[in-house]
Structure 1
Amino acid sequence: MAKKSGSPTVAAESEGKPLDKKSARTRVRILDAAAQVLSAKGYAGMRLSDVAEVAELQAPAIYYYFPSRDDLIEEVMWVGLADMREFLTKALEVAPADAGAMERILIAVETHLRHELEISDYTTAAIRNAGQLPDNIRDRHDAEEKKYGALWRDLFKAAAETGELREDLDPYLAQMLVMGTINWTAEWWQPNRATIDRVVANAQSYVRAALSPAS
């Protein structure tokens, strides 16, 4: 099932090289194709010839926009995280005013899963390949990952402060365990096994039961 792309605005940006509309569209097409291939084949398995085939371009054309394979991968990984952070920020901004800390965590669980599994190849690629990047292209990815993690850290801190998190749980460890669980979903989920809605509902029930104090 083909997913939607990441943010076209983010993906169309080019460092130090102004692009006209046609070139910007081509750049996005290359990034979309690279995200699709990277999410399916991983860092080691992604070939520029595969990207060119999906983008319906000749492989040498990619080098006009990206100096190397790693530069293209670095951009896909960054867009995936930046887009997901923007998506979660907006979801939390429109949450009901009376939503408690635990409800906001569950909103984050749903937002993350839908973006990872249903909406963006960029995000799937960023999650599945985070541990495979060489050091020379990790800087932007790691910086964006910290920003995204900070959103979750605030959610768990608020739950601890309002008594909605079990007292025996360390907020940071609980956060990392939850994020690790939902990140891993990209490795095993298949649409013929369960719908996105069912995965989200089960994940939210699981997280609520694991984190909430006994009533």
Structure 2
Amino acid sequence: MARPARNPGNGSRDRILAAAAAVLTEKGYAAARLTDIAEVAQLRAPAVYYYFDSREALVAEVMIVGQQWLRRHVTEALDALPPGTAALDRVCTAVDAHLRVELELSDFATAVTRNAGQLPADVRTQVGRESAQYHAIWRALISEGQSDGSIRTDIDPRSARMLIIGALNWAPEWWHATAQSIDLLISTAQSFIRAGLSAP
């Protein structure tokens, strides 16, 4: 059975969403059943249909909430930096925030990265709109870095962005807290990204 979800809300609807995020993270879209979700939420299965018209509607909301959670956490981390922080340092802050929200703070974000490729086309379209807003943050960071001289200009910014986000999103598939601290993981990721992006 899936573990209790992280970030549960107080009401039944929030509990269902959090439970669905936990089940999607553990089992994936194809194997996630409403009965499993109801069990983790500690509700009867018919209660799920009181709040959501279908399994797909529930999954779509989980994925959208996951994208919003990740974007908000990264944005808040960037906004907390002192004015004038170099764009490459801001990229490293975004790396830290992304990994922490995926690996420590939210089943919602992990559910997104693990299930994005399995979704029906209509759900994927909805999630894609949220994803585009998150990618816009990274697009701006790399563009700012190439403008302020902290990020090299001889690389393709789109490729750099996709490679970075892809690597960060893959971390939940292999990282385990019992084998390595998250702080060491983050510092290693930042070192790799800084070395790859730094202007001479």
Counterpart pick for 1:112 among 88, 98, 103: 98
1:177 aligns with 2:163: yes
Deviates more, 1:146-155 or 1:91-100: 91-100
CA displacement 1:148-201 (0-9 Å, x = unmatched): 000110000001111212232111111111111111111111111111111111
Residues of 2 paired with 1:58 and 1:35: CA distance? 17
Is the partner of 2:11 in helix, strand or coil? helix
- Do 2:88 and 2:145's aligned partners in 1 also have CA atoms closer than 8 Å? yes
Deviation at 1:130, TM superposition (A): 1.0
Partner residue of 2:125? 139
The TM-score, its normalising length taken from structure 2, stands at: 0.94
Asked whether 1:79 is paired with 2:65, we answer yes
CA deviations 1:120-144 (Å, max 9, x no partner) are: 0000001111111111212321100
Q: What is aligned with 1:48?
A: 34
Determine the structure 1 residue equivalent to 2:108.
122
Q: Which residue of 2 aligns with 1:96?
A: 82
Q: Which stretch has the larger CA shift, 97-106 or 73-82?
A: 97-106
- C-alpha distance in structure 1 between counterparts of 2:120 and 2:147, whole Å: 38
User: Following TM superposition, by how much is the alpha carbon of 1:4 offset from its aligned partner in structure 2, in angstroms?
Assistant: 3.1
| Alignment map for 1:196-207 (pairs within 5 Å) | 196-207=182-193
Query: C-alpha displacement at 1:3, in angstroms?
Result: 6.1
TM-score, length-normalised on structure 1?
0.88
Q: Tell whether the 8 Å contact from 1:33 to 1:55 is kept in structure 2 after alignment.
A: yes
Decide which of 140, 147, 164 is 2:150's aligned counterpart: 164
Q: Is residue 2:137 matched to residue 1:151?
A: yes
Find the aligned partners of 1:120 and 1:2 in 2 and give their Cα distance: 12
Identity %: 46
SS at 1:89 equivalent: helix
In the alignment, is residue 4 of structure 1 matched against residue 6 of structure 2?
A: yes
SS of corresponding position for 1:191 = coil
Partner-residue secondary structure (3-state), 2:185: helix
Q: Tell me what 2:48 maps to.
A: 62
The aligned residue for residue 26 of structure 1 is 12
Q: Which residue of 1 aligns with 2:178?
A: 192
Cα drift, residue 206 of structure 1: 0.9
Query: Structure 1 residues 147 and 135, CA, compared in 2 at 3 Å: closer, same or farther?
Result: same
> Matched residue pairs, number?
198
The 1:3–1:56 alpha-carbon spacing in structure 2 relative to 1, beyond 3 Å, is closer
Counterpart Cα distance in 1 of 2:141 and 2:173: 25
What do you get for the CA RMSD once the two structures are aligned?
A: 1.5
Q: Tell me, what secondary structure is at the counterpart of 1:44?
A: coil
Mark the CA change 1:66 to 1:178 in structure 2 (over 3 Å): closer, same or farther. same
The whole-number CA distance in structure 1 between the counterparts of 2:36 and 2:82 is: 44
Distance in 1 (alpha carbons) for counterparts of 2:60 and 2:151? 36
